[in-house]
Amino acid sequence: MPGKSDKVLRYAAAVICPLLAAGLAGCRGLGGYSNETLFPDDIQTICIEMFDNRSFRRDVEYTLSDALVKRVAAQTPYRIVSDKDRADSVMSGQIVSMGESILTVEREIGRPMEMEVIVKAVVNWKNLQTGRLMINNETVTATATYSELLGQDFSYASAVAANKLARKIVERMENKW
């Protein structure tokens, strides 16, 4: 039965050789991996303006703006400047809604056990050198849950949601693949 083993070997070679060649070549030829920054490199500084608040909840704009400044400083190559005239780019936006909904209710009493805070913002990011809008009126949404049974309240959840929103905004700052 040498004919059957030859067929198996030829089949195995036909399957394994291309896979091995692709593996050795890596993903380099396919656009592959790079150590380049994920963020636009024509910008060095950014001015983050205080977000407007169109919701009926107060002070969430301060929490979001503070969280966004900290995220940009920690996770991007950009330096934060407070003066718009010295910045290469400016980020602005508005919180368009902030609400809460009940996730679970206690059966006997009907009291909410777990609640969810939903924050929605519209974001703009403009390159002041070229005038190009890098983020143009994009809506970003974030949620956070809380439970009064665990000693948490709306302000706790709104701070968590603002931090999640800041993380999502920084993700939108990355170059498109």
What's the CA dihedral at 141, 144, 145, 148 to 10 degrees? -120
Residue 48, amino acid = I
Q: Residue 42 and residue 89: Cα distance in Å, rounded?
A: 10
Residue 137, amino acid = N
Residues 8-32: what's their mean pLDDT? 58
CA angle at 53 for the pair 48 and 56, rounded to the nearest 5°: 160
Topology, domain 36-172: Double Stranded RNA Binding Domain (3.30.160)
Residues 42-64: what's their mean pLDDT? 92
Residue 13, amino acid = A
Mean pLDDT across the chain, nearest whole number? 86
Cβ atoms of 100 and 110 within 8 Å: the answer is no
Please state, in angstroms and as integers, the Cα–Cα distance from residue 17 to each residue in 6, 11, 34, 106, 175, following that order.
16, 10, 26, 62, 36
Question: Strand, coil or helix: what is 61?
Answer: helix
Angle, helices 60-75 vs 154-172, to 10°: value is 40
Tokens matching residue 15:
């399957």
Residues 32-36: what's their mean pLDDT? 66
* Residue 69 in this model has a pLDDT that exceeds 60: yes
Question: Strand, coil or helix: what is 43?
Answer: coil
Rounded to two decimals, the pTM is 0.77
Position 19 scores a pLDDT of 59
Q: Which position has the higher pLDDT, 121 or 34?
A: 121
* Residue 56 in this model has a pLDDT that exceeds 80: yes
Q: Residue 144 and residue 151: Cα distance in Å, rounded?
A: 15
Confidence of residue 13 (pLDDT cuts 50, 70, 90): low
Cβ atoms of 37 and 77 within 8 Å: the answer is yes
